[in-house]
Structure 1
Amino acid sequence: MKGQVMTDFVLKYSRKPIQRKEPSEKEWWTLRVDGASRSSGSEVGLLLQSPTGEHLEQAIRLGFPASNNEIEYEVIQSGLDLALAVSVSKLRVYSDSQLVVRHVQKEYEAKDERMARYLAKVRDTLQQFFEWTVEKIKRVENGRADALAGIAASLPIKEAILLPIHVQVNPSVTEDSTCNTIEASQTDSQEWMEDIMRYLRTGTLPEEPKQAHKIRVQAARFTLIGGHLYKWSFTGPYLRCLNHSEALYVLAELHGGVCGNHSGGRSLAHRAHSQGYYWPTMKKDASTYVKKCDKCQRHVPIPHAPLETLKPISGP
């Protein structure tokens, strides 16, 4: 009797066709971006819309010179970073830049070296989404993103209360260094983050056994939050990990910025740590930065004592 019941059960459900779940339009987010280079500077605006209709808006002012095509790439990269921060899996990107869209769609070839680096970074970021599309739209259909870029151009940062205007200090891609020593130091300062982030995301380790063991041990003290690397802290909140250029910017602001007091190297490194930042060479970089500060060198107390003990000379 039990065998007959089991046979009927198998026959009943084996004939039932497998129902495949079709992709739902409700799972797709949309990202509209626009940017332009004006006399007041370079500004970008982006609008991220959820499947249920909520909007995330950002107006960004670029703190570095950039061409129109570079600005279009910067705004797309900023929008992709924002989408990853809110855990978007399916994304449709709309831009009115025909060149950038055709680059991403592999219809045009990026012949310029800098454009090729921008394109490679955008494509690498897109691979982190489960599904994505990039489409060209008319400028009149992208009015809201264009308005956000206009706000960033016309409204002073101090008056941006209702809509915060973000300032991007450095471009998304870096220039190739002509000095080998500087290029090596910057690469080393960035690789410590990249290896750990790659291991935390995908579990990938370097091929060298000693380096793999080192990364595995170090990763236990780090975590990823919103796509950024943070270090566990024993006495406070998480510490935001910085690369070489970000570390120099933080040191400049803490040392000679609005609240800077031109403190010494150890004090400067301690301030950066207490503000919630971390990178492996904090003390060394802070000491080096203080020694190269022009104002500190000009106003430092000058010792008037001789280098050697004076020896009296008896007269004839």
Structure 2
Amino acid sequence: MEGEGAEVVPQWRVHTDGSSNRQAGGAGVVLHTLKGDKIECIIRLDFPMTNHEAEYEALVAGLDLIRAAGAENMVVYSDSQVVTSQVNGDYECKNGRMKKYLEKVKGQINGLQIKFVQIPREENECVDRLAKSASAEYMPVPDQVLSFVQTSSLIDEVMSVQEIDNENNWTTPLVSYLRDVVLPDGKDAARKLKVRASRFVLIKEVLYKRGFSRPYLRCLGPEEADYIMREVHEGICGNYSGVQSLVNKLIRTGYYWPTMQNDAQTYVKACGKCQRFGNNVRQPSEELTPMMAPWPFAQWGLDIMGPFPTEIRYGIPRVLVSDKEKQLDNNAFRDFCLELGIKNHYSSTAHP
């Protein structure tokens, strides 16, 4: 058999995970050395971020630790399918910030023998616990666990303001005002911009929208918004949700742009799978028939059922309500009911 007798090279094992909430973000790393020792590390991320960014921050921190430890052959485990697939080259990375993180990771793994494996969340429980602990309001630090606090993203020093040079970008006047106090001509236009800018904040040259009951939402330009909406709707975590569900999911993921409601409606209407398999009513309308019963068992709903027990009898009903299947909507059945004085009422199909 091919490979028999080949020497098995010992490998370090590294588990990483990231967590993000409205208070802060957290990264957890667990290293298993060749001697069987375990090194645990938690990093508090004190800056706004998405869940995917927190996963990348944890991965970069893990790679920093294993390089510092002198490891050269290792397996990295993560429960993030998006991050693992992008690093392995299975998924194309189109988002600007994700590209920066991916370039950072590729620079760190240069010269190393390393394998990235995506595992279920339940198999990553030890490091998931560390990440959630780091992102808690009060970060508890267990004994013999390395702990750090990080106040800015690892890629912000190379990030530029999103799409600022685009004249049609809605973020341009807001960023210009918050960064350089640039106001448009006209007293009314300047006043409106000041009022609008009070709901936004500029952090590390990136525009975020303030929220009362949620964390800061990263503001997106047209190109980024189109990519994010496509990923959330039909990407690896997408479920082809409806318009309002899609908008709510975009906000929960941590993004905002002013036309997201209209953009989501247009996008869902143009989605072929949503139109073919969506929960849309395609049956023709039917005239509604009031269903009133003057006494118990005077009116029955009927469909193909049975066999019924013969020991229980309630007498002949006054009305039978059924759908329009041929078994109950034919001349023979109508004559049978007419002889017994039973009236036939018909409802829409499958709703007797």
Q: TM-score if structure 1 supplies the norm length?
A: 0.46
Higher relative helix content: 1
Q: TM-score if structure 2 supplies the norm length?
A: 0.42
